[in-house]
A and B are shown apart, each in its own frame.
Chain A
């Protein structure tokens, strides 16, 4: 597939240095799109966004224009309309929203003002994960500068979370923002109709919103020409793991893993061999090394058996034990399960117990079957995608690396323990649940 020189949109102007100061962002053409949007008016802004084909960058990939058009007009609702930006970024492998917040905060503010204008919102909120202390300070400073310059017509409130991955799920985020425990709501109703304080609410990811000024600048039709059909525009790919140069790389959809890992990332570190790729954040099924030429777009990724998710690519070299990796990630889901529904709350705990037994060489063949059986019982039975994600990825690790799981069972331990890059890795779960004897008796 021939691709034209890759355009930089979301991070445009920040190549040489961060655009934190208003003056610098202005010099890079900043806030011209907001002015343009004010001239276009609500309907035409939504039309441009629709025409751009942009799909949400938070993971689910829902078309933004369509979601915005679900928001009722102010005269059709007695309630105020809200815009909420999801900056909870906590998916293992993802660090792109932080880069946007810290390097081009004004583009995010401009995007929020345009999106808020489009849906005729009364107020905007940005929910930033609590751990991003520096990021929230940078954003707040940029916001203060924009406010002082009279650029923030629709007020923005910065809300910091307090450490809970589940608050990235949009309805859990709304609960948390309302001052409750961050537990997902059942849908429908969708937030577009019943969102924050039961009011119509548009929720979008940081990157989605930070793309909006460029869509207005280029025009929806021109934006749609970047990338590939069905996956328009550029994407901030977060590259991490066993790669020479980790970092965020803004590239058009349709770029292959090989181009990202080898051309941008400088290849596998220490000259090792690629073993596997986590393609779209920890919640997406794993891919084998032979899938390195898969283009990173929605359709190609699904054909490959996974998802583009949050476009967070974790490179895994030949030293990693896949059972250890599956166990460490399962500990994450178990720890972050909000506990609202049984298949997730109990299922993730079972997955963790069985994987630990396999890893330590104490599991039988029947327990390897039981692992997949538990995955089956979780899948499709959860209130939100967190539980499903854990089941889906564990099943994918076994599918791709069955021989390695079987070797643990047959040899009574990890065949590569002495050399595995993951040997000895611990998680918060280990600190919280010391003395696990009682729990394992249940197995």
Chain B
């Protein structure tokens, strides 16, 4: 198995300066640990020749880094203007009903984290929903039970 540190170093080699690889390195660490733990920050820092505090500062700036444990799956519903105009609120509510949680929460069994999101770049086919960062577009409230069922099984 390839060690995380070696993976990070290989990515860093693609850039003229090593520090440029902070984002890809944090992404690799997140995939490895599930979320960015203290250990993850220490490893990334060591691989790139910087400090854990620096890496934390970067991670906290970007939305896609998980600083706390998240569900095995993430569901993100775009509620920005174009999607909102075509019923994103109802889609979000349907997910909340089906999962029994409020946006921003994770199901008690740790399977699914539900979030509202800013524009995902599929506005012409709203409402756009990203499941583990793969887009489903458009999603209507009546599509929601099947999607949730699929995640429960998978």
- Contacting A at CB under 8 A, from B103-153, are 103-104, 115-126, 130, 133-135
C-alpha gap A393/B86 in the complex (Å): 21
Partner of B82, one of A92, A159, A162, A177: A92
- Cα distance, A314 to B84, chains bound together (Å): 11
B24 — nearest CB in chain A belongs to which residue? Answer: A160
Q: How far is the CA of A257 from the CA of B112 in the complex (A)?
A: 41
Give chain B nearest CB distance to A265 CB in angstroms. 9
Given contacts A241-B86, A328-B84, contact A95 B124 (CB under 8 A): yes
A431 touching B123, Cβ below 8 Å? no
Q: Is the CB of B15 within 8 A of A157?
A: yes
B52-80 interface (Cβ within 8 A of A): 57-58, 61-65, 79-80
Q: Which residues of A contact B64 (CB under 8 A)?
A: 130-131, 162-163
Q: How far is the CB of A274 from chain B (nearest CB, A)?
A: 12
> Within the complex, which residue of A95, A133, A182, A282 is in contact with B133, where a contact is CB–CB below 8 Å?
A133
B26 within 8 A of A: yes
Query: Are A90 and B121 closer than 8 Å at their CB atoms?
Result: yes
User: Judging by beta carbons under 8 Å apart, are A422 and B123 in contact?
Assistant: no
Closest-CB distance, A130 to chain B (whole angstroms) = 5
Instruction: Give the interface centre of B22, B117, B119 by most chain A CB atoms within 10 Å.
Output: B119
Q: Which residues from chain A contact B16 at a C-beta distance below 8 Å?
A: 80, 123, 197
Taking a contact as CB atoms under 8 Å apart, the answer to whether B121 and A177 are in contact is no
A179-B23, A328-B80 given; A129·B121 CB < 8 A:
yes
Q: Which residues of B contact A421 (CB under 8 A)?
A: 84-87
Query: Pick the contact of B20 from A94, A179, A335 — CB < 8 Å?
Result: A179
Neighbouring B residues of A426 by C-beta, 8 Å: 79, 89, 92, 103, 116
Q: How far is the CA of A140 from the CA of B134 in the complex (A)?
A: 17
Closest to A162 in B: B62
In the complex, which residues of chain B have a beta carbon less than 8 angstroms from the beta carbon of A315?
Answer: 85
Whether A246 and B125, one on each chain, are in contact in the complex, defined by CB atoms closer than 8 angstroms, is yes
A364 beta carbon closer than 8 Å to chain B: no
For residue A344, CB closer than 8 A to chain B, the reply is no
Residues in A whose Cβ lies below 8 Å from that of B85: 241-242, 314-317, 320, 421-422
Supposing A92-B81, A176-B23, A430-B116 touch, asked if A424 and B121 sit within 8 A by C-beta, the answer is: no
With the chains together, A332 CA to B122 CA distance in Å?
Answer: 16
Across chains A and B, which 5 residue pairs bring their CB atoms closest together, nearest first?
Answer: A246-B124, A163-B63, A431-B104, A162-B62, A179-B19
Q: Which B residues are CB-close (under 8 A) to A422?
A: 84-85, 89
Contact across chains for B62 and A130 when beta carbons are under 8 A apart = yes
Query: A120 at interface (Cβ–Cβ under 8 A)?
Result: no
Interface string of A153-168 (1 = CB under 8 A from B): 0000101111111000
What's the nearest-Cβ distance from chain B to residue A80, in Å? 8
Contact mask A285-314 → B, CB, 8 Å, 1/0? Answer: 000000000000000000000000000101
* Residues of A with C-beta under 8 A to B24: 159-160
Instruction: Give every chain B residue within 8 A of A181 (Cβ-Cβ).
Output: 57-58, 61
Bound-state CA distance A133–B21 (Å) is 17
How far apart sit A179 and B124, CA to CA, in the bound complex (Å)?
A: 33
Residues on the B chain within 8 Å of A332, using CB:
80, 118-119
Instruction: List residues 213-237 of chain A with CB under 8 A from any CB of chain B.
Output: none
Check: A325 CB closer than 8 A to any chain B CB: yes
Are B57 and A133 interface neighbours, CB within 8 A?
no
Report yes or no: B20 in contact with A178, Cβ–Cβ below 8 A. yes
Give complex CA distance A130, B93 in Å: 26
A254 to chain B, nearest CB (A): 22
Q: Judge whether A51 is part of the interface by a CB distance below 8 angstroms.
A: no
* In the complex, chain A residues whose CB is within 8 Å of the CB of B84: 325, 328, 421-422, 425
With A179-B23, A431-B103 given, is the CB distance from A161 to B62 under 8 Å?
yes
Can you spell out 8 A-B residue pairs with CB atoms less than 8 angstroms apart?
Answer: A98-B121, A131-B121, A157-B14, A238-B124, A246-B82, A423-B89, A424-B90, A431-B115
Instruction: Give B74 Cβ to nearest chain A Cβ, in Å.
Output: 12
Interface residues, chain A, with chain B CB atoms under 8 Å away? 80, 89-95, 97-98, 123, 129-134, 157, 159-165, 176-182, 197, 238-242, 246-248, 269, 278, 282, 312, 314-317, 320, 325, 328-329, 332, 335-336, 338, 421-428, 430-432, 434
8 more CB-based (< 8 A) A-B contacts, given A162-B23, A179-B18 = A98-B121, A98-B122, A162-B26, A178-B19, A179-B17, A329-B81, A336-B118, A425-B84
A80: nearest chain-B partner, CB-CB: B16
Contact partners of A159 in chain B: CB under 8 A: 20, 23-24
In contact, B121 and A94 (Cβ under 8 angstroms): yes
- B118 and A335: CB pair below 8 A? yes
- A134 x B22 contact (CB < 8 A): no
Q: Give chain B residues whose Cβ lies under 8 Å from the Cβ of A423.
A: 89
A92 vs B48: C-alpha distance when bound (angstroms): 34
With A130-B64, A314-B81 known to touch, is A425 a contact of B58 (CB < 8 Å)? no
Q: Establish whether residues A248 and B115, one from each chain, have CB atoms under 8 Å apart when the complex forms.
A: no
Known contacts A242-B86, A430-B116; is-contact A179 B21 (Cβ 8 Å): yes
The residue of chain A having its C-beta at the shortest distance from the C-beta of B50 within the complex is A179
Q: Which A residues touch B19, using CB under 8 A?
A: 178-180
Q: How far is the CB of A179 from chain B (nearest CB, A)?
A: 4
A92 touches B89 (CB 8 A): no
Residues of B within 8 A of A329 (CB): 80-81
CB distance from A30 to the nearest CB of B (A): 25
B-chain residues with CB within 8 Å of residue A91 when the two chains form the complex: 119
Interface residue from A89, A180, A328 paired with B121 (Cβ < 8 Å) = A89
